[in-house]
Amino acid sequence: MLWWFHGAFATMAFRDPDDAMRLVQVRDWIGGQAFWDVSQHRVNPPLGGPMHWSRIVDMPIAGLILLLRPIVGAAGAERLACVIVPLLLLGGLTAALFTAARRIAGDAAALVGVALLLTTPSILVQFTPLRIDHHGWQIMLAGIALMGAMDERAARGGLIAGLALALWLQISSEALPYAALFAGVFALRHWIDRAETPRFVAFALTLGGAALVLLALLRGGQAPFVSQCDALSFAYVWPLVALADASATAVRAIGTGSPTRRLAIAAIGGGAAIAVFLLTGGPCLSGDPFAALGPLAYKLWYLQVMEGRPIEAQTLTMQGVILLPPLLGLGATLLAAARNRDGRNREGARMRWLTLALLLIGATLVSMLVMRALSVAHLFALPGIAWLLLLLLRRVQRSGLALVRVIGSVALVLLTPAGLCAAWIAVAAQPEAAKKADADCRSAAALAALDALPPATLFAPIDLGPDILMRTRQSVIATAHHRNAVGISTVIRGFVAAPDQARHVIERSGARYLVSCDGLNEMALYEKENPRSLAAMLAQGNPPLWLEPLPANGSLRLYRIRPAGN
Give the global pTM: 0.94
Which CATH fold topology does 444-561 show?
Rossmann fold (3.40.50)
What percent of the chain has pLDDT above 70?
A: 96
> What pLDDT is recorded for position 343?
47
Would you say 140 and 152 are in contact if contact means Cβ atoms under 8 Å apart?
A: no
For residue 43, the cross-strand partners are: 476
Residues 269 and 243 sit within 8 Å (Cβ to Cβ): yes
Question: What would the mean pLDDT of 414-428 be, rounded to a whole number?
Answer: 93
Q: Which of 181, 1, 113 is nearest to 417 (CA)?
A: 113
Looking at residue 123, its amino acid is I
Per-residue confidence at 394, pLDDT binned at 50, 70, 90?
A: very high
Residue 270: enclosing H or E segment and its boundaries? helix 259-280
Residue 137 in contact with residue 171, Cβ under 8 Å? yes
Tell which residue, 361, 372, 365, 378, has the closest CA to residue 314. 372
Confidence of residue 172 (pLDDT cuts 50, 70, 90): very high
Instruction: Please say if the pLDDT value at position 439 is more than 70.
Output: no
pLDDT of residue 70: 96
Does the pLDDT of residue 513 top 60, yes or no? yes
Q: Determine the pLDDT at residue 566.
A: 61
d(CA 71, CA 68): 5
Question: What is the dihedral angle through the alpha carbons of 289, 292, 296, 300, rounded to the nearest 10 degrees?
Answer: -30
CA angle 439, 444, 449 (to 5 degrees): 90
Q: Quote the CA–CA distance of 453 and 470 in Å, as a whole number.
A: 15
Question: What gap in Å lies between CA 235 and CA 283, rounded to an integer?
Answer: 9
Asked whether residue 223 carries a pLDDT value surpassing 90, the answer given is: yes
Task: Give the residue from 417, 406, 471 showing the smallest Cα distance to 441.
Answer: 471
Q: For 132-146, 283-297, 394-408, which range has the lowest pLDDT when averaged over its residues?
A: 283-297
DSSP assignment of 209-255, as one string?
HHHHHHHHHHH-TTGGGS--TTSSSHHHHHHHHHHHHHHHHHHHHH-
Residue-wise pLDDT tens digits, 60-73: 999 999 999 999 99
First to last CA, the chain: 53
CA separation for the pair 23, 32 (Å, rounded): 14
Q: Compute the average pLDDT of residues 461-475.
A: 95
Map residue 517 onto helix, strand or coil: strand
pLDDT reading at 548 higher than 80:
yes
Domain range list for the chain? 1-150, 154-288, 290-432, 444-561
Nearest to 224 by CA among 201, 247, 241: 241
Non-local (6+) Cβ contacts of 487 within 8 A are 43, 44, 49, 477, 478, 479
Closest alpha carbon to 131 in 53, 23, 31: 23
Choice among 427-431, 505-509, 560-564 with the minimum mean pLDDT = 427-431
**Which uninterrupted H or E stretch holds 321?**
helix 316-339
Phi, psi of 507 (to 5 degrees): -65, -40
Residues 145-155 have pLDDT tens digits of 999 999 999 99
Phi/psi for 173 (5° steps) reads -70, -10
Residue 86's Cβ-side half-sphere holds a number of Cα atoms within 13 Å equal to 24
Is there a cis peptide before residue 259, judged by omega within 30 degrees of 0?
Answer: no
- Cα–Cα distance measured from residue 256 to residue 339, given in angstroms and rounded to the nearest whole number: 31
HSE-CB of 327 using CA atoms within 13 angstroms = 9
Return the closest-CA partner of residue 158 out of 143, 147, 169. 147
d(CA 166, CA 175): 9
What is the sign, positive or negative, of the torsion defined by CA atoms of 361, 366, 372, 373? negative
Nearest 10 degrees: CA dihedral of 135, 140, 144, 145? 20
Question: Contact, 62 vs 26, CB < 8 A?
Answer: yes
> For residue range 305-344, what is the model confidence (pLDDT) as tens digits?
889 899 999 999 999 999 999 999 999 999 999 987 654 4
- Average of per-residue pLDDT across 497-507: 95
Amino acid at 502: A
- DSSP collapsed to 3 states, 422-479: HHHHHHHCCCCCCCCCCCCCCCHHHHHHHHCCCCCEEECCHHHHHHHHHHCCCEECCC
| CA separation for the pair 399, 264 (Å, rounded) | 54
Q: What b/e string do you get for 277-313 counting C-beta neighbours within 10 Å, with b at 16 or more? A: beebbeebeeeebbebbbeebbebbbeeeeebbeeee
Average pLDDT of the segment spanning 437-456: 86
